[in-house]
Structure 1
Amino acid sequence: MKKITFLLLLLPFFVGAQSDGYSRERIAEAEMKSASALMNLAVNPNTQNYDITYHKLEFTVNPSVYFITGKVTTTYTALSPMTTVIFDLTNELTVSSVKKNGVSLSFVQNSNDELVITLPSTQATGTSATVEITYSGQPSSGEQAFTTDTHSGSPVLYTLSEPFGARDWWPCKQDLNDKVDSIDVYITAPAQYVSVSNGLQQSAIVTGTNKTTHFHHSYPIPAYLVAIAVSNYSVFTLTAGTAPNTFPVVNYVYPEHLAAAQSDLADIVPIIGFYESAIETYPFASEKYGHCEFNAGGGMEHQTVSFVTGFYRSLIAHELAHQWFGDKVTCATWKDIWLNEGFATYMASLIIRELDGNAAFIADKSDMINYITSAPNGAVYLTDSEATNVNRIFSTRLSYDKGAMVLNMLKFKLGEATFFQGLRNYLDNPAHAYGYATTEDLRSELQAASGVDLAEFFNDWVYKQGYPTYTITAQNIATGTVRFTVSQTTSHVSVPFFEMPVPVRVFGAGGQQMDLVLDNTTNGQVFDVAVPFAVTSLTFDPEKEIISQNSMTSLSNHAFEINDAITVYPNPASTSLHVALPDNVNLKKAVVHNILGQVLLTSANSTIDISTLSSGVHFITVETDAGNKTIRFIKK
């Protein structure tokens, strides 16, 4: 059993202005619909005194008939002394027997949709037991967790249990903080149909007119991600993964859509290959990944098999990414939703770069930036009050697009290799793997991988609101040297200044170009940068690496003035005076004289000892290889 504190994992689909027509707004809308029910889920306190470690699920169904017969064998461990064990189960299903070690137990189904089983003796804390529950009936239709329908005249049965519909079709512990270590699923249906479930198919045995299909799933899974489907599916299998960890991608498709699905899913193998090369091996590689077509709107990510209504590339890329960022490591709270949705959004955007090229990737990032900056406010991380608002949780602008662009900025700031190493550490850490993580867990892993303190970055870009608008001026101040002045305003008062590397591209008259990164840590910051040609124009952030709005660049045509570049400080001064010069200007000497012009001190150092001077007004002439400047100062 894997414990998780309030995880969520109802990750259907996404996409912003994607070329295949499936938008991020549509994905967010589907996820929001699922989450609306989840947010109303109250954990049953009567099921919190045990941990489930194993389920054997045996279902007999017919896709033409709205009915289920089942036998569920559950192994659990007592967390406190127990005289009864309680499971969640709708009263619309009738339990016919409960056994433990072959011995019948007494039980009752109460008005709270609970199955209360009386144990033969008190079960001690830390001990395990196994009970076998047999039941049948027409599942409750309230949550639409169990559906029979048709496609092109053929019957189809499928389940969609998020967030608490599992109890409508099988007895379970229906909450979000207990992952079952492993499950076996046996589906018996008329032999002409194909059955689908989590994990790897072990067998399909025909007995008379029926066929029993066995699936085994050996990874931690919550009850609401257990799923089955039955129809006249056409099945085609691809092989994906990096040797020696190859695995099947099993696709269950309505026959009338087979040709289109085979064409649309041609990209799934390179998508998996990219994800594995960028982050790590597919987290369920000992079993399978796959897609199962169903009729519900949008789709539902079920562990190892995504139930989908279509095979858009952007959608399958987003859904696949959730197997890492959502299934293997799940956001711990609604406040951390961007750890699921921002990651899935960004990974799907990286697929655009991988398969369509950098220009298409830049265009996708530009679309996200434009949407992010369409309003001046909004943080990636949610407040307590925002975490109760499903519309805010699944905000495409903030949880999806801004979350994705924050990840892009981290990649830009840390470097691609370091960024992905941090992600691998995040996914592989035993404290997070097949469990949950917080925003601070991600920051800790990225800091450890990079050696960079990211507290200020996360404070500005994750926890607080808004974005900057930059004004960048360039000036050719000497042969081979360009001075950049970087200023910014911010869209929201929560952040007075965003510390961020700022990318610019400069161009020369002969067609030269050069990409520069200005590490902007203060407002009005000046950078003198070696550029091997005279700059004739410049562009701000040509690759769309950072979030900003209406940023401007300009090239100053004014000649370089040494008087603007040389300063002394402090002024007034008592013991020493410091000469500040641009990086490309060298000091020859500094001469201190009085108001009569008499020389009092001469120094070749930029720090001058003036402790012996009398108090009053003095002058210093700074002589450099770029010119001279005389400055009045006061000796205290």
Structure 2
Amino acid sequence: MTHPRRRPALLRREAVVATVPVAVAALLTAAGPATAAGSVGAPGVGDPYFPLAGNGGYHVSHYGLTLGYEPSSRHLTGKAVLTARATQRLTRFDLDFKGLKITGLTVDHVKAGYKRDGQELAVTPARPLRKGQTFRVTVAYNGTPGPVTDPDGSLDGWIPTDDGAFVAGEPQGAMTWFPANNHPLDKSSYDFTITVPEDRTAVANGVLLGQRTKNGRTTFRWRQTEPMAAYLATATVGKFQVRQYTTRDGLKVYDAVDPREASAATPVLERLPSVLEWESRLFGPYPFRAAGSIVDRAPNVGYALETQTRPVYDRAPDLSTLVHESAHQWFGDSVSLTSWKDIWLNEGFATYAEWLYAEQHGGDSAQQTFDGLYATPADDGLWEFPPGDPGSGANIFGTPVYARGAMTLHVLRTAVGDRAFFRILRAWATAHRHGNGTTAQFERLAERESGHDLGALFQTWLYGQGKPGEPSPS
């Protein structure tokens, strides 16, 4: 993600079943309080910055989302079908869902009880669910969706525009338009069926399966087969110019561009295949079967987001932004967070990809970029808090996470040498492909791949307060 307030200068510009690792399933089971009988799923997974995000007691393998949106009235109708597996006995479980009116709710086709409390939708099935049982939750709903305000004051979720909606869910916003287990720990496959007026286009994640126009409305069907965190889902609607093509590597590319942004966006988007090829050489094979971009005109948003397979931009991106959001397909999308505290694993990595791209394409070297940042005084916002533990949800998109996170990677590169460093990046993307990771796991992997003791380096650059001392040259 990229955002002017969230990194220096342009430093948040930003039916298939997926498996869940055993460790993640254990976290989803154990997170939060439960009854003495252990039969109530927790209302959150225990994230220190967003304690109500996600839910315990089950894993969602697949979302089937059927949506209808009328931009003139901003009215959304929806039906969400969640296929899930209970990781404990459940007499009740929660979903994250905020604002919209529920018109029907069943578990395995039987009417279920429910109660709402803020973002929590507590569901009581007619019969308890056994541990290991696969079940299906169907929620019908409608209303006028809107965004949520994040701790840093920005908006995310379903954000209306003058011709549709800009839909970007990091970190909380998925719950504004569909019921979800809304934490990166719970990754799922998705099908989207979205109906809009025939002069609008609805763009979601993955591959476009087809579209059909009837009685003045067009229905778009999208499928995202690889596991995806709920915050990375999109259903952006607008008047778009569409370009579709297949790269020489077989990637299906779908670009949707607001005509008002087309002249500025087109030359940048034409670089996408070469950017993905370059990143694939550095990080390993591109992790998805589809790619592309959504370029909207959303002046009240102020960022872009790495929505999986198809980043959404609030305006025409520059090349650095394209590189940043594309790098997130590896770091953030395929390899997802275990806790929002570890956000530098997303933003620091994507920012360093910008530095590397500039270095290898005639711009400043990564060392020059590092030196320019390091020259900032000790009271600069760059040193306000450590990137490995930002301290609150209000800080997770702050400058230190992006810039000092990237600086940490450069110090690591300097310490271990290029050969080991690029082996580390590739090994990280490979070992946790379509899964989750933690900072501690990255630190151990870096030490294993390099043969160096890196504890002091990470402690200083990720967790140390204030401006670190100047790193020793390699």
Q: Is the 8 A contact 1:342 1:401 kept in 2?
A: yes
Partner residue of 2:429? Answer: 427
Once residues 122 and 13 of structure 1 are traced to their aligned partners in structure 2, the CA distance between those partners, rounded to angstroms, is 45
The correspondence for 2:168, drawn from 135, 155, 160, is: 160
Alignment of structure 1 residues 466-505 onto 2, 5 Å:
500-502=472-474
Partner residue of 2:239? Answer: 232
Q: Is the 8 A contact 2:4 2:302 kept in 1?
A: no
The correspondence for 2:2, drawn from 9, 12, 27, is: 12
Once residues 210 and 402 of structure 1 are traced to their aligned partners in structure 2, the CA distance between those partners, rounded to angstroms, is 48
1:176 aligns with 2:179: no
1:291 aligns with 2:300: no
Secondary structure in 2 matching 1:219:
strand
Once residues 366 and 245 of structure 2 are traced to their aligned partners in structure 1, the CA distance between those partners, rounded to angstroms, is 27
Partner residue of 2:78? Answer: 70
Once residues 161 and 4 of structure 2 are traced to their aligned partners in structure 1, the CA distance between those partners, rounded to angstroms, is 25
Secondary structure in 2 matching 1:325:
coil
- Greater relative contact order: 1 or 2 (C-alpha under 8 angstroms, separation 6 or more)? 2
Partner residue of 1:454? Answer: 454
Q: Is the 8 A contact 1:232 1:254 kept in 2?
A: yes
1:317 aligns with 2:320: no
Q: Give the letter for the 1:297 counterpart.
A: G
Once residues 358 and 285 of structure 2 are traced to their aligned partners in structure 1, the CA distance between those partners, rounded to angstroms, is 20
Q: Report how far residue 117 of structure 1 moved.
A: 4.2
Q: Report how far residue 111 of structure 1 moved.
A: 4.7
Q: Is the 8 A contact 2:50 2:393 kept in 1?
A: no
Partner residue of 1:302? Answer: 307
Deviations 1:70-121 (A, max 9, x none): 111111112222334443333x5332233455x4414344354554544232
Once residues 459 and 123 of structure 1 are traced to their aligned partners in structure 2, the CA distance between those partners, rounded to angstroms, is 44
Q: Give the letter for the 1:212 counterpart.
A: T
Once residues 459 and 364 of structure 1 are traced to their aligned partners in structure 2, the CA distance between those partners, rounded to angstroms, is 22
Partner residue of 2:335? Answer: 329
Q: Is the 8 A contact 1:247 1:289 kept in 2?
A: no
Q: Is the 8 A contact 1:108 1:115 kept in 2?
A: yes
Once residues 233 and 89 of structure 2 are traced to their aligned partners in structure 1, the CA distance between those partners, rounded to angstroms, is 29
Q: Is the 8 A contact 1:65 1:148 kept in 2?
A: no
Partner residue of 1:96? Answer: 103
Q: Report how far residue 26 of structure 1 moved.
A: 4.9
Partner residue of 1:149? Answer: 161
Q: Is the 8 A contact 1:157 1:229 kept in 2?
A: yes
Q: Report how far residue 394 of structure 1 moved.
A: 4.2
Once residues 326 and 142 of structure 2 are traced to their aligned partners in structure 1, the CA distance between those partners, rounded to angstroms, is 34
Alignment of structure 1 residues 236-315 onto 2, 5 Å:
236-237=243-244, 239-240=246-247, 245-284=249-288, 286-295=289-298, 296-309=301-314, 310-315=316-321
How does the TM-score come out when normalised to structure 2? 0.80
Secondary structure in 1 matching 2:178:
coil
Once residues 197 and 138 of structure 2 are traced to their aligned partners in structure 1, the CA distance between those partners, rounded to angstroms, is 24
Once residues 377 and 190 of structure 1 are traced to their aligned partners in structure 2, the CA distance between those partners, rounded to angstroms, is 49
Secondary structure in 1 matching 2:88:
coil
Q: 1:350 to 1:139 in 2, by over 3 A?
A: same
Q: Report how far residue 433 of structure 1 moved.
A: 2.7
Once residues 112 and 334 of structure 1 are traced to their aligned partners in structure 2, the CA distance between those partners, rounded to angstroms, is 21
Secondary structure in 1 matching 2:361:
helix
Q: 1:140 to 1:13 in 2, by over 3 A?
A: closer
Q: Report how far residue 141 of structure 1 moved.
A: 5.3
Partner residue of 2:352? Answer: 346
Secondary structure in 1 matching 2:425:
helix
Q: Give the letter for the 2:254 counterpart.
A: V
Q: Which moved more, 1:122-131 or 1:138-147?
A: 138-147
Once residues 434 and 55 of structure 1 are traced to their aligned partners in structure 2, the CA distance between those partners, rounded to angstroms, is 17
Partner residue of 1:41? Answer: 50
Secondary structure in 2 matching 1:282:
coil
Q: 1:49 to 1:306 in 2, by over 3 A?
A: same
Once residues 334 and 100 of structure 1 are traced to their aligned partners in structure 2, the CA distance between those partners, rounded to angstroms, is 30
Partner residue of 1:388? Answer: 392
Deviations 1:12-44 (A, max 9, x none): 3479xxxxxxx943555778xxxxxx9863316
Rg larger in 1 or in 2? 1
Once residues 456 and 367 of structure 2 are traced to their aligned partners in structure 1, the CA distance between those partners, rounded to angstroms, is 26
Partner residue of 1:572? Answer: none
Once residues 276 and 333 of structure 1 are traced to their aligned partners in structure 2, the CA distance between those partners, rounded to angstroms, is 26
Once residues 408 and 120 of structure 2 are traced to their aligned partners in structure 1, the CA distance between those partners, rounded to angstroms, is 44
The correspondence for 2:111, drawn from 86, 105, 109, is: 105
Q: Which moved more, 1:76-85 or 1:420-429?
A: 76-85
Q: CA RMSD in A?
A: 3.2
Q: Report how far residue 50 of structure 1 moved.
A: 1.9
Q: Is the 8 A contact 2:86 2:130 kept in 1?
A: yes
Partner residue of 1:201? Answer: 208
Q: Is the 8 A contact 1:324 1:427 kept in 2?
A: yes
How does the TM-score come out when normalised to structure 1? 0.61
Q: Is the 8 A contact 2:13 2:321 kept in 1?
A: no
Partner residue of 1:603? Answer: none
Once residues 287 and 273 of structure 2 are traced to their aligned partners in structure 1, the CA distance between those partners, rounded to angstroms, is 15
Q: Report how far residue 178 of structure 1 moved.
A: 4.0
Q: Give the letter for the 2:165 counterpart.
A: L
Q: Give the letter for the 1:79 counterpart.
A: T
Q: Give the letter for the 2:350 counterpart.
A: A
Q: Which moved more, 1:119-128 or 1:371-380?
A: 371-380
Once residues 111 and 364 of structure 1 are traced to their aligned partners in structure 2, the CA distance between those partners, rounded to angstroms, is 47
Q: 1:334 to 1:202 in 2, by over 3 A?
A: closer
Partner residue of 1:604? Answer: none
Q: Give the letter for the 2:144 counterpart.
A: Q
Partner residue of 1:443? Answer: 443
1:121 aligns with 2:127: yes
Q: Report how far residue 459 of structure 1 moved.
A: 4.1
Partner residue of 2:43? Answer: none
Q: Give the letter for the 1:180 counterpart.
A: K
Q: Is the 8 A contact 2:243 2:256 kept in 1?
A: yes
Q: Report how far residue 461 of structure 1 moved.
A: 4.2
Q: 1:332 to 1:308 in 2, by over 3 A?
A: same
Q: Give the letter for the 2:443 counterpart.
A: R
Once residues 127 and 385 of structure 2 are traced to their aligned partners in structure 1, the CA distance between those partners, rounded to angstroms, is 54
Secondary structure in 1 matching 2:175:
helix
Q: Report how far residue 51 of structure 1 moved.
A: 1.6
Q: 1:290 to 1:368 in 2, by over 3 A?
A: same
Secondary structure in 2 matching 1:204:
strand
Q: Give the letter for the 2:172 counterpart.
A: F
Q: Report how far residue 142 of structure 1 moved.
A: 4.9
Once residues 100 and 291 of structure 2 are traced to their aligned partners in structure 1, the CA distance between those partners, rounded to angstroms, is 32
Deviations 1:526-582 (A, max 9, x none): xxxxxxxxxxxxxxxxxxxxxxxxxxxxxxxxxxxxxxxxxxxxxxxxxxxxxxxxx
The correspondence for 2:418, drawn from 416, 419, 423, is: 416
Q: Give the letter for the 1:300 counterpart.
A: L
Q: Identity of paired residues, percent?
A: 26
Greater strand proportion: 1
Secondary structure in 2 matching 1:134:
strand
Partner residue of 2:29? Answer: none
Once residues 256 and 324 of structure 2 are traced to their aligned partners in structure 1, the CA distance between those partners, rounded to angstroms, is 19
Q: 1:313 to 1:113 in 2, by over 3 A?
A: closer
Deviations 1:344-363 (A, max 9, x none): 11110111122224x56564
